Structure formats: structure tokens, C-alpha cells
């Protein structure tokens, strides 16, 4: 279980830091950890559901992305969160919590059912790549839906998240349906897509989560702290 935990948590925590490191003064840390914990619970439920059903095109590409993004929307569109800039950050925590727990459950089941894979480099490679993929994807979708809730453009960003998640799942379906070296082609495409989505929300949506007035206030406070530090050093 410790190996599975590292595979799941390490990418999620790293990506959470990358998303939120420039916005620490705009949210309460305890709320981020709370949404991350909620995401973990939701991720476990989603993973159990995945394990109980048989993958088909309709289920994996059409239905599951819809209900997974709908679950994020129900939480992030809660009346106390709707219309607040912090909801974007809560979306990041929620999505990355889902991604981390999903791969932990998968890794744990793989190692439990096939203990011999503990020493197989290919197994570790596949699980680490999938861990980053799930965290990149769910983190990006969480930010996207959180941004829609914060800006009162819920339907617009929910539809975007659903379609993009469905496209990702299409390549994931091809990956799990392929054998040998051929499966790494769709996995590569899915990974590039997940990275691109994460980069988009990091560079486009996260900066827009804070109003220009709040950014100006932040810069003024930063300049004030710099002046105080210079006075102390003198």
C-alpha cells in the first residue's frame, strides 16, 4: 500500500503546488486540504465504480466523463462557493484529490492481485504515467469547472470539461484495449492531451481567477514588504 500511496499522492501534491503557489494569499489552506480530502473520497467511489463495470465505448467515453464532471460540478456549484474566486482553487484541490485516489486504488489492486509485478519496471512505468495523467486531467477539469462556477458560466465550462474528458477517455480506451508496444501510442497522445489541458488552466484560467483590483493590492503589499525589509537591513 505504501508504494501505491507514493505513486498516487506524489504527482497530485506536486501539481497542487504548481497550481496554487502564486495564489497562497487568496485562499485558506485548510479549505484546500478539505476539498482535496473530499476529492479523495469521491475518487475512491469513482474507482470502485470503474472496477465493477465492463468498459465499452458508450460507458467509458460518453457516460463516465459526464457523471464524473457532474459530481465535481455539484460540489463546486454549492451556493456558498458559487461566484467566489476561491472556488477555482477548491476545484484544483477537488480534482487532484480524485486523481490521486483513483490511481492509488488501481495500483493497490494490481500489486495485490499480482505481487510479482512489484519488481517489474514496466508496471511502475505504466502506473506512474497513469498517475500523472489522472492528476493532470482531473486537476485541469476541476479548475475549469471551478472557474465556471466562480464566473457564473457554469454550463459553458461544464460542457468544455465533459467534452475534453471524453476525448481523453477515448484514447485511454484505445490504450487499455491494445497489447504490446502498440498501446503506448494512444497513451502518449492521452498524456500530451492531459499536459496541454493542465498548461491551459495554469496559464489562462488561474491568472483570471483573481480580479485586477486584487492583483494591484497584492503588488502594493509586496512593494510595502520590500520597503520594510530594506529599512530593516539599513
State the CB neighbour count (10 A cutoff) for residue 113. Answer: 8
Domain extents in the chain: 2-233
Residue 47 burial (10 A CB sphere; 0-12, 13-18, 19+): buried
Average of pLDDT values for 137-155? 96
Task: Supply the pLDDT for residue 212.
Answer: 65
Cell 474528458 identifies what position? Answer: 165
**The pLDDT of residue 55 is above 60:** yes
Least trusted range by pLDDT, from 144-153, 197-206, 214-223: 214-223
Average of pLDDT values for 14-24? 91
Task: Supply the pLDDT for residue 46.
Answer: 87
**The pLDDT of residue 52 is above 90:** no
Residue 102: pLDDT band (50, 70, 90) is confident
**The pLDDT of residue 132 is above 80:** yes
In angstroms, the CA 146 to CA 161 distance is: 11
In angstroms, the CA 155 to CA 145 distance is: 9
DSSP state of 79: T
**The pLDDT of residue 97 is above 90:** yes
Amino acid at each position: 500500500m505504501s508504494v501505491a500511496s507514493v505513486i498516487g499522492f506524489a504527482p497530485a501534491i506536486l501539481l497542487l503546488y504548481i497550481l496554487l503557489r502564486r495564489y497562497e494569499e487568496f485562499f485558506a489552506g485548510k479549505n484546500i486540504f478539505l476539498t482535496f480530502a473530499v476529492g479523495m473520497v469521491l475518487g475512491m467511489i469513482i474507482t470502485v465504480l470503474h472496477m465493477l463495470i465492463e468498459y465499452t465505448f458508450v460507458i467509458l467515453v460518453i457516460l463516465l466523463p459526464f457523471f464524473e464532471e457532474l459530481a465535481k460540478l455539484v460540489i463546486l456549484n454549492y451556493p456558498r462557493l458559487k461566484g467566489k474566486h476561491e472556488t477555482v482553487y477548491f476545484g484544483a484541490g477537488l480534482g487532484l484529490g480524485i486523481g490521486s485516489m483513483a490511481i492509488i486504488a488501481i495500483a493497490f489492486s494490481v500489486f495485490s492481485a499480482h505481487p510479482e509485478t512489484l519488481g517489474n519496471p514496466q508496471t511502475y512505468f505504466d502506473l506512474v504515467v497513469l498517475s500523472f495523467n489522472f492528476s493532470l486531467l482531473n486537476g485541469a477539469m476541476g479548475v475549469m469547472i471551478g472557474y465556471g462556477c466562480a464566473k457564473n458560466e457554469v454550463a459553458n465550462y461544464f460542457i468544455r470539461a465533459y467534452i475534453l474528458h471524453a476525448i481523453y477517455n477515448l484514447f485511454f480506451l484505445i490504450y487499455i484495449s491494445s497489447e504490446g508496444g502498440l498501446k503506448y501510442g494512444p497513451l502518449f497522445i492521452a498524456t500530451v492531451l492531459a499536459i496541454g489541458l493542465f498548461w491551459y488552466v495554469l496559464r489562462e484560467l488561474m491568472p483570471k481567477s483573481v480580479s485586477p483590483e486584487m492583483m494591484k493590492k497584492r503588488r502594493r503589499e509586496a512593494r510595502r514588504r520590500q520597503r520594510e525589509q530594506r529599512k530593516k537591513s539599513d
